[in-house]
């Protein structure tokens, strides 16, 4: 099957993107991501790279001093703008943001779909003030999620597109370290979706609640966090 360019894929995806976001699996990912941004970004100036429809930005702006987002897809951004969010259309590899102008630049579920990953990380580092933070989420090559993805059929995103239609990269910690520009120091890690085998288990009564509880505890636990399906590198700007 043909691989669509990222913008066309996400413009198509925009009509469906929030269809399942209320389900326990997506809520858990969102909570763990927003919680991490709050740890570094309360009362600070934030930039979300690849903000999509603005679901996360709409939450982070509530504890930030200022919060803005950029995204490649006009379809996604139309929904973010309808939420009253400060957003602009741009590529992560060419941010229309002044150098050293925000305290935290964060990106979730985006960087794994960008071929020029070193370019995107260099841009995030550029816009952050010295002493500020880049929170960069990758898809972990050494995780249960990766294993399940390898054996499972591609997920249908809409009638036209499947998740195999978009460029996707899985990285281990060593590869991630190699992508970081010298001005970023990798200080902490959050591992998201450490033990959840498939999203549906979180919908089970009792078992789902127990797994969610465990995921919140494992996310920052050395050893466990390193095998999270999503690895967030928390990097200080030197
Ligand atoms: C899976 S969505 C994640 C949206 C949001 N971060 C969230 O967690 O809800 C991925 C987003 O990344 C955007 N994206 C993909 N490649 C991009 C690029 N090179 N520059 C900016 N945004 C990009 C897509 O348009 C899409 O909105």
Express each pLDDT in 205-223 by its tens digit: 999 999 999 999 999 999 9
Probe target for ligand 1 pocket from 46, 72, 112, 116, with the most ligand atoms within 8 Å of CB: 72
Per-residue pLDDT, averaged over 24-49, amounts to: 98
Alpha helices (H) along the chain: 6-14, 24-41, 57-60, 74-82, 117-127, 144-151, 173-179, 207-218
Per-residue pLDDT, averaged over 113-124, amounts to: 98
Cα separation, 124 vs 164, in Å, equals 27
Q: Does residue 162 register a pLDDT over 60?
A: no
Report which ligand 1 atom has the smallest distance to the Cα of 76.
27
Confidence of residue 4 (pLDDT cuts 50, 70, 90): low
Alpha helices (H) along 22-110: 24-41, 57-60, 74-82
Considering the domain 6-237 in this protein, what is its CATH number?
A: 3.40.50.150
How many CB atoms sit inside 10 A of residue 182's CB? 8
Q: Does residue 165 register a pLDDT over 80?
A: no
Structural domain boundaries of the chain? 6-237
Nearest CA to 176 out of 92, 93, 118 is that of: 118
Contact indicator for 103, 45 with CB cutoff of 8 Å: yes
How many CA atoms within 13 Å lie on the side-chain side of 184? 27
Contact indicator for 208, 153 with CB cutoff of 8 Å: no
pLDDT at 6: 79
Confidence of residue 156 (pLDDT cuts 50, 70, 90): low
Atom 4 in ligand 1: residue holding the nearest Cα: 52
Residue predicted with more confidence, 156 or 50 = 50
């Amino acid at each position: 099957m043909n691989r669509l360019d990222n913008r066309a894929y996400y413009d198509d995806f925009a009509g469906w993107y929030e269809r399942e976001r209320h389900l326990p699996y997506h809520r858990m990912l969102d909570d763990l991501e927003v919680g991490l941004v709050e740890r570094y970004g309360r009362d600070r100036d934030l930039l979300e790279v690849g903000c999509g429809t603005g679901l996360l930005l709409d939450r982070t702006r509530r504890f930030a001093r200022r919060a803005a987002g950029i995204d490649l897809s006009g379809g996604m951004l139309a929904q973010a703008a309808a939420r009253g969010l400060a957003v602009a259309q741009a590529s992560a590899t060419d941010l229309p943001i002044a150098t050293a102008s925000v305290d935290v630049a964060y990106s979730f579920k985006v960087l794994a779909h960008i071929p020029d990953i070193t370019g995107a990380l260099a841009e995030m580092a550029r816009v952050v003030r010295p002493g500020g933070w880049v929170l960069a989420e990758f898809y972990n090559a050494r995780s249960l999620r990766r294993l399940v993805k390898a054996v499972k059929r591609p997920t249908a995103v809409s009638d036209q597109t499947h998740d195999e239609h978009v460029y996707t990269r899985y990285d281990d910690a060593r590869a991630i370290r190699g992508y970081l520009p010298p001005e970023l120091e990798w200080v902490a890690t959050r591992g998201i979706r450490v033990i959840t085998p498939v999203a549906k288990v979180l919908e089970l009564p009792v078992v789902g609640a127990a797994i969610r509880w465990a995921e919140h505890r494992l996310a920052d636990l050395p050893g466990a966090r390193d095998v999270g399906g999503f690895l967030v590198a928390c990097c200080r700007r030197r």
